[in-house]
Structure 1
Amino acid sequence: MSFVLVDKPRPHVTLITLNRPDRMNAMAFDVMVPFREALEAVSSDNDTRVVILTGAGRGFCSGADLENSGRIPGIKGLTRTSIARRSMEILDDVILGLRRLHQPVIGAINGPAIGGGFCLATATDIRIASDTAYFRAAGINNGLTASELGISYLLPRAIGSSRAFEIMLSGRDVDATEAERIGLVSRVVPGEKLLDDAYRLAERIIGFSRVGVEVTKRLLWSGLEAGSMHSHMDHEGHAQLYVRLTTENFEEAIRARRDGRRPEYRD
């Protein structure tokens, strides 16, 4: 059985599905290792313009598998401490891999996103949730920290520091309605319409130029780390000049608007 499914349900759209529904797609290494490999492959697939990430069954991802963590590659001869570090590196690679993808990633959050699953959802570029989805920073409930896999960096930037502190320190559930209200997700839709909504958004993004979309994603992420607004605006300006001067996208957009048609971008 393949624990990660990679499909192309629409032109230029790759759908990645975490496929271990009996464990609510828990982050066993039997799932995360092929997931990491799938991200690397999709990033190099130039036919793919948008990636959609979802879970099989009733859950998005329930975080760490507390019963069976699965097989960890390349650990023969290592001590317990070194194995733990290698394990964390695999999970870190998944979170960072989502960010490094050339293509924007839409998280279709079809159900509970708990612990590491919450981190995984937060690492996607855009999140759309089904009405049955909820989010929980579970580590604090298990005698650990709620901070893992980048969530203490990403969540405050997504919803503000006070809300992030409260959610992570209380370990409480955030249902889909609240998630939409506080900006954790872009919108909430009935579960049966979730993928169709994600596909519509993907098709809209695909209609824009490849370079425009890829550079916009990169600048949005780099803006979260910018040392100052001035330096980031400098990066934005150079990126805009690069696209303007090295492509004919702007001219094509003007022609298409004048002709009453959709633009056909070559870059």
Structure 2
Amino acid sequence: MSAVTVDTADDVATILLNRPEKLNALSDAMIDEFFAVLDDIARSSARVVVISGAGRGFCAGFDLSLAAEDGGGDERFWASRQERFGALVTRVRGIPQPTIAAVNGAATGAGLGLALACDTRIGSTAVRFSSAFVRVGMSSCDVGVSWLLPRAIGTTRAFELMLTGRMVEAEEAERIGLILRQMAPDQLLEEAHALARAIADNGRMGTWMTKRGMWANLEAGSMQAAIELENRTQTFMLGTGGLASRAAERGFTKPAKG
């Protein structure tokens, strides 16, 4: 059985991490499967992507049963593995479709990084977040968390969570902005798909450029640089002819000359 499955309906692709006996902890093979799925979706007609986990967990991060591996004594083994896992964040960000994490349970370590890599997050009442690596002899600066978490919740809270590795459960996660809202577990995917359809209704190109512009401007050096990118994006979008057609579809027609 595949450790990463995908189902597409109504222009929404749903990726399911499917290793429930391990709380969807990531192995090397699972990362390879995930990247292949993302590549396929990037080329597909899907307009929005929902990412969730099978069973009780969203993703428990790196599979610690692999921690003793040494790659046959090759000193490059762990560096290569680290770079491969770290690329998970940029690959999720890099696909053109907006992404929604439907966080159904534990999202720890690299699982926290994966959830943060998505453009927004909805959580079930069973959700639990932790930058867990600091509790097992490693650093919490892993899989993009040190860049993404402070941008999601601010530096004061991010430092506390990363230095302690403590668990954040659903109510707190919603209060501090780690998730958009919390839902009963049996309503989580339905809510995520409803949000995905609302995004998809706005059209493929506009949502793609919004995603790209938002992430790019999180790294902009000044407000003026951000506005410059916005201006260029809007000028490009105007050239597609989408403004006139969408305005007409929504009843904003040009008055007839009298």
TM-score by length of 1: 0.90
Asked if 2 retains the 8 angstrom alpha-carbon contact of 1:29 and 1:71, the reply is no
Asked if 2 retains the 8 angstrom alpha-carbon contact of 1:27 and 1:69, the reply is no
In structure 1, distance between residues paired with 2:134 and 2:57:
21
- Cα distance, 1:248 vs structure 2: 2.4
| Correspondence for 1:48 | 46
Secondary structure, counterpart of 2:13 in structure 1: strand
Secondary structure, counterpart of 2:57 in structure 1: coil
Asked if 2 retains the 8 angstrom alpha-carbon contact of 1:12 and 1:50, the reply is yes
What is the aligned-residue identity percentage?
39
| Correspondence for 1:248 | 241
In structure 1, distance between residues paired with 2:77 and 2:173:
35
In structure 2, distance between residues paired with 1:115 and 1:258:
48
- Cα distance, 1:70 vs structure 2: 11
Asked if 2 retains the 8 angstrom alpha-carbon contact of 1:28 and 1:70, the reply is no
- Cα distance, 1:121 vs structure 2: 0.7
| Correspondence for 1:122 | 116
Structure 1 residues without counterparts, runs of 5 or longer: 261-267
| Correspondence for 1:107 | 101
Q: Deviations over 1:220-252 (max 9, x none)?
A: 1011111111111101011011101x1222222
In structure 2, distance between residues paired with 1:174 and 1:152:
17
Indicate whether 1:136 and 2:145 are aligned: no
In structure 1, distance between residues paired with 2:94 and 2:67:
26
Q: CA RMSD in A?
A: 1.9
| Correspondence for 1:67 | 65
In structure 2, distance between residues paired with 1:92 and 1:170:
22
Secondary structure, counterpart of 1:201 in structure 2: helix
- Report runs of 4+ in structure 1 exceeding 2 Å deviation: 68-72, 78-81, 256-260
Asked if 2 retains the 8 angstrom alpha-carbon contact of 1:209 and 1:249, the reply is no
Q: Deviations over 1:152-176 (max 9, x none)?
A: 0000011100000011111111111
Structure 2 residues without counterparts, runs of 5 or longer: 254-258
Q: Deviations over 1:67-97 (max 9, x none)?
A: 246999xx7xx75321111111221222110
Secondary structure, counterpart of 1:146 in structure 2: coil
